[in-house]
């Protein structure tokens, strides 16, 4: 199963690659499928490629749901 966890773009390089903050880790990402992406944007990553952009609201709501699932699974 693949999870579509939002990641925030931290750097875009001229080569179409860059990095995202993915659950607290900096991850190298290819932005070729999302022309115009910039630092601060929220994206979904799959197999090292940014495949879609999210609004900040969509990203917050998705991250909130993941936190709720984590609390549920831990029995809290």
Q: What is the CATH number of the domain that holds 64?
A: 2.30.30.140
Compute the average pLDDT of residues 13-23.
Answer: 91
pLDDT of 2 reads 62
Instruction: Please give the share of the chain, as a percent, with pLDDT higher than 70.
Output: 95
pLDDT of 76 reads 64
Number of domains in the chain: 1
Residue 1 in domain: no
Full residue range of the structural domain in which residue 58 is found: 6-74
What are the two backbone dihedrals, phi and then psi, of residue 65, each rounded to the nearest 5 degrees? Answer: -65, -40
b/e 1-32 (16+ beta carbons within 10 angstroms → b)? eeeeebbbbeebeeeebbbbebeeeeeebbbe
Residue 19 in domain: yes
Compute the average pLDDT of residues 9-25.
Answer: 92
């Amino acid at each position: 199963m693949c999870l579509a966890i939002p990641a925030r773009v931290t750097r875009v390089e001229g080569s179409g690659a860059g990095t995202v903050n993915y659950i607290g880790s900096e991850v190298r990402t290819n932005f070729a499928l999302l022309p115009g992406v910039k630092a601060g944007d929220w994206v979904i990553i799959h197999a090292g490629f940014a495949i879609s952009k999210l609004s900040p609201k969509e990203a917050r709501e998705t991250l909130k749901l993941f936190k709720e699932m984590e609390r549920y699974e831990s029995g809290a």
